[in-house]
Amino acid sequence: MNDVSASSQGSYIPRNAIDHMNPFFYKSHHAHTHHAHSHHRHSANYSYQQPYPDTHHNSVADQEQEFLQTPVPRRLSVQIETTKPSAPSPANSTLSTASTAVSYNTPPATPPLDQSIPKPIEDAVAWCTARARIPTPDGSEYFLHIYENSQDKKEHLAFVFGDAIRSKSLDKVQWNETEMDRAKRGAYTGRLRNTVSEEQQQDMAILSLSAESVIPSSGTISPASPPLVRVHSECFTGEIGHSARCDCGEQLDEAIRLMKAEGSGVVVYLRQEGRGIGLAEKLKAYNLQDLGYDTVMANLMLNHGADERTYEVAQAILEDLGMNDIRLLTNNPDKIEQVEKDSQIKVVERVPMMPKSWEAIEQGMEAEFEVKEGAVENKIVRGKELDKYLKVKVERMRHLIPIPTSMNA
């Protein structure tokens, strides 16, 4: 476990990060992290580990194959040593690709938080502070819910489709509030109607709500089958930035489309950009990906875990929305485990999210599958970078998507 392997070329990768490259490692290891970490904190334990296996002996394809088979930690659970190891010789301190060379010879200045200190176990609580109707271009609509919570300061969101799904915390009557106060924060059933005349629009003193102002709900009250749920993590680049590096925008659109079609469902939109590492760190990871490292390795090289997301807030939001049995839109088995863990929520069905371009390839429709140049209205993505990213998710992050047979050849 603690042996140090020195390679002739390479970067500072803590040996333990390599030893523990197992997607199940975080959970199984958690119980004894304290001992393990306190040990590592006091022993200089860096190694100059090549990010890819020895380039002198294997072909690039062999190296990639070998590397892809190395399981990865869900979160990085090693301590970075405070004692600086002896400096590598210049020859050992360069990561290079055919066209680029990047110096990488200093250990990270800021060690990650000490995850060996057990956090107090407390249940997350989430409460809805505002809700409003959002009409969409095809004439359908949903209610956007904003949540605060006991775990962080971020504004997590829920897109709620259909009138049957209600937020308990939103509907709760607050002390001294008027019907107008409730209407302002979205705590009404049905729809609000425009009953304000043009003259009244200038008069801010009119703060009452008439009976005609609310149109009662005409929708179904209880959905027939367990509702569709998507627990989605923020991806600025994929959802707003038209990036073809990932399928996040396409997945969000598809989840919304399916829920509109069913007339019911919830997208919990978590502000966990970059699998929890944040946008700035994700951009750094993209630079490493441009140098040839995959999405998992790039995170590890930045001293992050492969996936640092947590799902307690999602559970709390789903519980507030009265969810019990759900059909979860995901390819990610880790997400299913995390959403169900110690909660009332049960994933009774996993609804796969097949990437559109892979679906087209599998159906022999690749030629017909077209992404309009500069298209922004639909977020269907395709391309070599997307293919590589998706393959890594299947091979190293346990994602349950069949790789098109033509890509395995």
Ligand X SMILES: Nc1nc2c(ncn2[C@@H]2O[C@H](COP(=O)(O)OP(=O)(O)OP(=O)(O)O)[C@@H](O)[C@H]2O)c(=O)[nH]1
Both structure tokens of 168 = 């308990």
Residue 156 found at the interface with ligand X (CB under 6 A): no
Residue 76 found at the interface with ligand X (CB under 6 A): no
- Nearest to ligand X of 81, 234 (CB atom): 234
Q: Which of residues 246-275 bind ligand X (CB under 6 A)?
A: 246, 248, 251, 272-275
Residue 77 found at the interface with ligand X (CB under 6 A): no
Q: How many CA atoms lie within 13 A of 114 on its CB side?
A: 13
- Nearest to ligand X of 85, 278 (CB atom): 278
What distance in Å separates the CA atoms of residue 287 and residue 267, rounded to the nearest whole number?
30
Minimum CB separation from ligand X for residue 108, in Å?
A: 16
Minimum CB separation from ligand X for residue 298, in Å?
A: 6
Residue 50 found at the interface with ligand X (CB under 6 A): no
- Nearest to ligand X of 80, 390 (CB atom): 390
Residue 353 found at the interface with ligand X (CB under 6 A): yes
What distance in Å separates the CA atoms of residue 391 and residue 381, rounded to the nearest whole number?
15
- DSSP one-letter string for 285-348: HHHHHHTT--HHHHHHHTT--S-----HHHHHHHHHTT--EEEEE-S-HHHHHHHHTTSS-EEE
Whether 15 is catalytic: no
Q: Which of residues 286-345 bind ligand X (CB under 6 A)?
A: 295, 299, 330-332, 335
Residue 234 found at the interface with ligand X (CB under 6 A): yes
| DSSP three-state, residue 355 | coil
With a CB cutoff of 8 Å and minimum separation 6, the contacts of 126 are: 147, 148, 149, 150, 156, 169, 313, 316, 317, 319, 320
Which position among 309, 327, 382, 396 bears the catalytic label?
309
Residue 282 found at the interface with ligand X (CB under 6 A): yes
Both structure tokens of 261 = 């079609």
Secondary structure element (H or E) that encloses residue 48, with its range: strand 48-49
Q: Under a CB-based contact definition with an 8 Å cutoff, are residues 95 and 51 in contact?
A: yes
- Nearest to ligand X of 235, 316 (CB atom): 235
Q: With CB under 6 A, what is the number of residues at the site for ligand X?
A: 22
Residue 393 found at the interface with ligand X (CB under 6 A): yes
Which position among 163, 247, 307, 320 bears the catalytic label?
307
- Give me the helices (H) in 45-178, please: 60-68, 168-171
Whether 245 is catalytic: no
- Nearest to ligand X of 266, 277 (CB atom): 277
- Nearest to ligand X of 116, 233 (CB atom): 233
Which single residue is written with the structure tokens 């749920």?
229
What distance in Å separates the CA atoms of residue 147 and residue 129, rounded to the nearest whole number?
6
Query: Which residues are known catalytic residues?
Result: 307, 309
| Site residues (vs ligand X, CB under 6 A) | 233-235, 246, 248, 251, 272-275, 277, 282, 285, 295, 299, 330-332, 335, 353, 393, 399
